[in-house]
Structure 1
Amino acid sequence: MAKVKNGKDEPTVIKKYANRRLYDTGRSSYVTLDDLCEMVQEGHDFIVIDAKSGEDLTRGVLTQIIADQEAGDETLLPTSFLRTLIGFYGNNAQDMLPNYLEQTMNIFAQNQEQMKEKFSKSFGSIPKMDGMFPQNANMEELARKNMEMFERTMKMMPPFNMNYNSSEEKTK
């Protein structure tokens, strides 16, 4: 999916119409939520606005993409995490948690990039090694460490030092 730049490196504007259709103004074509998901995965920045009112609908559309992805076979968000996240709505953590989660995800993404580079440098020049090592090798360990850091942080913040334990629920 090609990214159309407007010369100012501004996000692509996606207009959402009353009939729920999404129009990519950068490519002058209609797109689906799957197309927007692909744009996110490719690193393309966009905003979604209501075609009539101009209201920013980006958060709602991104949330819908997450809900659609989570409804599939491969999920990223454990049920225990979702319950804990829902529990933070309406309390003091609601002000602080978004920034914390954003920083944690940025660190996670940086770590993932560094791991890819190290694997590429280590095994990239060896013939017939492609595909031998999973792309997400050690990601489970990194995710576990990030979750432990999250749990320790939450335990330090009254009134949020509830008994948060990600290992309590391993199934959906």
Structure 2
Amino acid sequence: MTKSKGKADGIVIKKYANRRLYDTSTSQYVTLDYLRDLVKKGTDFQVVDAKSGEDLTRGVLAQIIFEEESRGANLLPVDFLRQLIGFYGDSLQSVVPGYLQMSMNSFSQQQGEFRDKMSEAMSSPQATMAMLEEQTRRNMELFGQTMRMFTPFQAGATPEAESGAAPEPEGKPEDLSALREELDSLREKMDQLLDKK
């Protein structure tokens, strides 16, 4: 975690050792529900340790999600949570935050259209399934695009690369076999994700 730099464009919430939260913009103690409402309103805030100035925002946001889930607002499917936990320490760990951010941004941009389709879909189970399949397909396309950004041999795309035949990269044989193994592993994971759809 990093030290707070002091955000001029958002609210600073101080967290004290007794776990109390203090909104410096209103000079009052607040709750996690108050912070949840700020998030829903789109209000930017940063939570910092009152003594050290350490940025605690990520942990507090995760705590808000935990509170919501424990109240029965089950937004995160168990399989998703298991997959997410599985990525900790995995070679793809660094890719996951960007992919999730891109997926959520895309979903947020499409939510107006999605809400219209949802109200239409409520009248027909077939329409509901078609809509969910379409959204899943879009998410998998985004994931595929993200994975291609991190494919080591994409930089010098040649006609062979476009046709699906990977060019022979230069390097030590043991480095090449390690890269091939990792690439095969990534392809296998992507195939598994596509099959689950």
TM-score (norm 1): 0.70
**Number of positions where the alignment pairs a residue of Structure 1 with one of Structure 2:** 146
Amino acid at match of 1:99: G
Cα distance in 1 for partners of 2:70, 2:13 equals: 24
Amino acid at match of 1:83: R
Amino acid at match of 2:110: N
Tell me the residue number matched to 2:174: none
Map residues 7-156 of structure 1 onto 2, 5 A cutoff.
10-115=9-114, 119=116, 133=119, 140=132, 143-149=135-141
The SS at the match of 2:68 is helix
What displacement does 1:115 show?
Answer: 4.8
The SS at the match of 1:13 is strand
The SS at the match of 2:95 is helix
Q: Relative contact order (alpha carbons < 8 A, sep ≥ 6): 1 or 2 greater?
A: 1
What displacement does 1:51 show?
Answer: 0.2
**Residues 21-72 of structure 1: CA distance to partner in whole angstroms, max 9, x if unpaired?**
0000011111101110110011000000000000000000000011111112
The SS at the match of 2:46 is strand
The SS at the match of 2:74 is coil
Which ranges of structure 2 fall in alignment gaps of 5 or more residues? 1-6, 152-182
Over the aligned positions, Cα root-mean-square deviation in angstroms equals: 3.2
What displacement does 1:74 show?
Answer: 2.1
Query: Is this contact kept in 1: 2:99–2:143, CA < 8 A?
Result: no
Cα distance in 1 for partners of 2:89, 2:53 equals: 28
Query: Is this contact kept in 2: 1:151–1:164, CA < 8 A?
Result: no
Cα distance in 2 for partners of 1:78, 1:57 equals: 26
The SS at the match of 1:53 is coil
Percentage identity across aligned positions? 46
The SS at the match of 1:47 is strand
Name the CA shift for 1:80/1:165 in 2 (closer, same or farther; >3 Å). Answer: farther
What displacement does 1:141 show?
Answer: 5.3
Name the CA shift for 1:50/1:148 in 2 (closer, same or farther; >3 Å). Answer: same
Cα distance in 1 for partners of 2:99, 2:93 equals: 10
The SS at the match of 1:98 is helix
Tell me the residue number matched to 1:3: none
Give 1 or 2 for the bigger CA radius of gyration.
Answer: 2
Amino acid at match of 1:78: P
More helix by share: 2
- Choose 98-107 or 12-21, whichever is displaced more: 98-107
Query: Is this contact kept in 1: 2:12–2:48, CA < 8 A?
Result: yes
What displacement does 1:148 show?
Answer: 3.9
Tell me the residue number matched to 1:127: none
- Choose 33-42 or 8-17, whichever is displaced more: 8-17
Cα distance in 1 for partners of 2:139, 2:78 equals: 14
Name the CA shift for 1:146/1:18 in 2 (closer, same or farther; >3 Å). Answer: farther
- Choose 142-151 or 81-90, whichever is displaced more: 142-151
What displacement does 1:97 show?
Answer: 1.1
